Amino acid sequence: MTTQNLPLAKAINLGLREAMLADPKVVLMGEDIGTLGGVFRVTEGLKTEFGEHRVMDTPLAESGIVGSAIGLAMRGYRPVVEIQFDGFIFPAFDQITTQLAKLTFRHEGALSMPVVIRVPYGGHIGAVEHHQESPEAYFAHTAGLRLVSPSNPHDAYWMIQEAIASNDPVMFFEPKSRYWPKGDVDTKASGYPLHASRVVREGTDVTIVGHGAMVSMILQAADVAANEGTSVEVIDLRSLSPIDYAPILASVAKTGRLVVAQEAPGFVSLGSEIAATVHEKSFYLLESPVLRVSGFDTPFPPAKQEAVYLPDADRILDAVDRAMSY
């Protein structure tokens, strides 16, 4: 069988296994990823299969983990680093943004940095502070890094392998709230390149763009909108840097309206960048301003308030109604 029904976490696990089987230079590093299999069990069983020299439990020291991965990449390895939770990435921020992102440029292309940094991110899991953040804009702003985020198990299986095969550093953002829902994974054909965005639902009245866990929320809103007579086209970004604008611009040319939805705060965000670019390139095709739906510009709240903070289908539908009212 070429198609399996898997949760996203298991799809990543299977993709990691395929990459490790294909290349003995692929090694995994992170806190509790070996014996425990990671706090979300994404690496479960891989230490047993490949051994402790390829699946390495590390100290609780994110800067040291990424710094070690940089050294391994210099020696010809392809390290895959797990940051246990999104909010724990900042001790490694200097290593990622001032070293990892710049070494290839600094060496005029002579030195590759094939490092993948896996980042479980986003809300909807009822966790405490530093466990539900969406820090992707910090890294999308940094030249030299590639950023991707799968929204479904099929993409997760293929994108992790494609990220590992890249000679550039790739930050692989994994939506925590989508780890467990299952979906079909075709293990013979990926369908889309790593940095391609994808139309996941066709429509004619308004385009909505999102990434990661937000894609499933947008699809819920699109179902409700359809029942109310509004046809919504949904685009999954998949790649956050670089962004594949061709499907977005083609869709806006058809619908004349765009809503960008994300969990992260809206100020100086991916949504801001997409809105600005679409206004620059498609101004005369727009029937309404590009609208953004996002988390609020505050620190992530306590778990009991996450439903207030995070965009839901109702907030997306409100933006759709406003776009249609012009």
Q: Cα 262–263–264 angle (5° rounding)?
A: 95
Residue 304 contacts by C-beta under 8 Å, 6 or more apart in sequence?
A: none
Looking at the DSSP assignment, which residues form a beta bridge with residue 258?
A: 207
Q: Which of 134, 133, 176, 183 is nearest to 157 (CA)?
A: 183
Query: How far apart, in whole angstroms, are the C-alpha atoms of residue 207 and residue 258?
Result: 5
Residues in the chain: 326
Q: Cα 104–151–149 angle (5° rounding)?
A: 15
Both tokens of residue 104? 């290839």
Single-letter amino acid, residue 136: E
Task: Confirm if 78 and 27 have CB atoms less than 8 A apart.
Answer: yes
Query: How far apart, in whole angstroms, are the C-alpha atoms of residue 109 and residue 102?
Result: 10
Query: How far apart, in whole angstroms, are the C-alpha atoms of residue 200 and residue 282?
Result: 21
Residue 256 contacts by C-beta under 8 Å, 6 or more apart in sequence?
A: 285, 286, 287, 288
Give me the active site residues, please: 131
Helix axes 313-324, 214-227, angle to 10 degrees: 50
Query: How far apart, in whole angstroms, are the C-alpha atoms of residue 73 and residue 67?
Result: 10
Looking at the DSSP assignment, which residues form a beta bridge with residue 241?
A: 147
Query: How far apart, in whole angstroms, are the C-alpha atoms of residue 215 and residue 87?
Result: 22
